[in-house]
């Protein structure tokens, strides 16, 4: 799961609650500092690239001195990213691999949206708060100058961009502590069963769903699913599209996102079976009563996958 939010939104509060509930927190800011700590290959590489005047008197990284050099040109910035990004990625992978088999891993990534990482997460949780609320918190609780706070916020993704990436939007505009119950409910009702279903390769329980009025969020929800599927399928999918009743604007429908994956020439559905299950879309066995419950008519040779996330019903239909 990816967790993010703008400065002052309250992401750290949500991360703390999730950790208290048992989540394995992988904090990208902590990792970014860890990989360039004194004595690391990361710090040595930065010194070799930018000079030893980026070091403080105690041998640690002088971040303002590094920034003055690394952000002076696109070439210098690329050099910085070429050194730090692989190290952060490797350490992140190590921490995730070390998590318990039944662990719920939460990746705390401040720039998740800015860096286009949402399609690589099984679920994206955004902590949301109005800009004026965030500015006030930054000034009152972090001692940041108001003009500086507004400049930092302006340099990040917009609220609209974050909301477009959000599978879960946690409203943290209220008083301190009001968000707590919402986070506990997210843990109990979505994250725990999602982890169990993902680990056991089990589709989420699918209660009988009524026909509802068209939801203007259906297209955005479908786009998020398609982005994840595109990463998992790569060139093995010739096309991935939103189909079915929820793809028709303004039409009442059962609240299920239907996605069709058209396989590339010579690719069988079996080639994608494990990759789709790994990102939360396990296969539904032929003859499973769930197929009838899902209301899907499969043509000869087509395969069906369903999502493991109990919070968003999705059907995947794979075929030539």
CATH label, 211-319, candidates 3.40.50.1820, 3.40.50.300, 3.30.460.10, 3.30.70.360: 3.30.460.10
| The pLDDT of residue 289 is above 80 | no
d(CA 280, CA 128): 25
Q: What is the pLDDT of residues 88-124, one digit of tens each?
A: 999 999 999 999 999 999 999 999 999 999 999 999 9
Handedness of CA 175, 178, 183, 186 (dihedral sign): negative
Q: What is the pLDDT of residues 132-165, one digit of tens each?
A: 999 999 999 889 899 988 988 998 999 999 999 9
Q: What is the pLDDT of residues 301-319, one digit of tens each?
A: 889 999 999 999 999 999 9
| Annotation: binding site for ATP | 8-13
DSSP character at residue 218: H
Q: What is the pLDDT of residue 40?
A: 96
What are φ and ψ of residue 149, in 5° steps?
A: -60, -45
Q: What is the pLDDT of residues 211-236, one digit of tens each?
A: 999 999 999 999 999 999 999 999 99
Q: What is the pLDDT of residue 17?
A: 97
| Fold held by 2-196 | Rossmann fold (3.40.50)
Arithmetic mean of pLDDT over the chain: 93
Q: What is the pLDDT of residue 167?
A: 97
Q: What is the pLDDT of residue 207?
A: 83
**Model pTM?**
0.90
| Annotation: binding site | 8-13
What percentage of residues in the chain have a pLDDT greater than 90?
83
Q: What is the pLDDT of residue 116?
A: 95
Give the closest residue to 105 by CA, choosing from 113, 116, 97: 97
Q: What is the pLDDT of residue 297?
A: 74
Give the closest residue to 206 by CA, choosing from 275, 307, 93: 307
Q: Delimit the domains of the chain by residue range.
A: 2-196, 211-319
| The pLDDT of residue 250 is above 70 | yes
Q: What is the pLDDT of residue 292?
A: 66
Integer-rounded Cα Rg, in Å, for the chain is 22
Q: What is the pLDDT of residue 118?
A: 97
For 14, other C-beta atoms within 10 Å of its C-beta total 25
Q: What is the pLDDT of residue 246?
A: 96
Q: What is the pLDDT of residues 39-59, one digit of tens each?
A: 999 999 999 999 999 999 999
d(CA 150, CA 152): 5
Q: 176 or 271: whose pLDDT is higher?
A: 271
């Amino acid at each position: 799961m990816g967790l993010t939010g703008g400065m002052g939104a309250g992401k750290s509060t949500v991360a703390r609650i999730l950790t208290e509930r048992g989540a394995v927190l992988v904090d990208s800011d902590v990792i970014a500092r860890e990989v360039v700590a004194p004595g690391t290959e990361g710090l040595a590489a930065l010194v070799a690239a930018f000079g030893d005047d980026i070091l403080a008197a105690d041998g640690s990284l002088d971040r303002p001195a590094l920034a003055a050099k690394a952000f002076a040109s696109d070439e210098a910035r690329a050099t910085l990213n070429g050194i730090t990004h692989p190290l952060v990625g490797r350490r992140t992978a190590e921490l995730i691999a070390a998590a318990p088999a039944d662990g719920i891993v939460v990746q705390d990534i401040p720039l998740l949206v800015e860096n286009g990482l949402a399609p690589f997460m099984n679920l994206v949780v955004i902590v949301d708060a109005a800009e004026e609320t965030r500015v006030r918190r930054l000034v009152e609780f972090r001692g940041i100058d108001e003009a500086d706070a507004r400049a930092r916020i302006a340099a990040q993704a917009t609220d609209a961009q974050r909301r477009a990436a959000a599978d879960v939007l946690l409203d943290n505009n209220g008083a301190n502590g009001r968000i707590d119950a919402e986070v506990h409910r997210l843990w109990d009702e979505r994250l725990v069963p999602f982890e169990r279903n993902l680990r056991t390769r089990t589709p989420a329980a699918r209660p009988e769903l009524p026909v509802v009025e068209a939801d203007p969020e259906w297209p955005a929800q479908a786009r998020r699913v398609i982005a994840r599927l595109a990463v998992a399928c790569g060139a093995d999918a010739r096309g991935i599209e939103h189909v079915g009743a929820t793809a028709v604007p303004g039409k009442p429908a059962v609240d299920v996102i239907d996605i069709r994956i058209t396989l590339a020439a010579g690719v069988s559905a079996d080639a994608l079976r494990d990759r789709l299950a790994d990102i939360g879309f396990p296969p539904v066995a032929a003859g499973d009563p769930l197929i009838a419950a899902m209301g899907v008519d499969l043509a000869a040779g087509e395969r069906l996958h369903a999502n493991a996330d109990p919070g968003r019903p999705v059907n995947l239909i794979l075929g030539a």
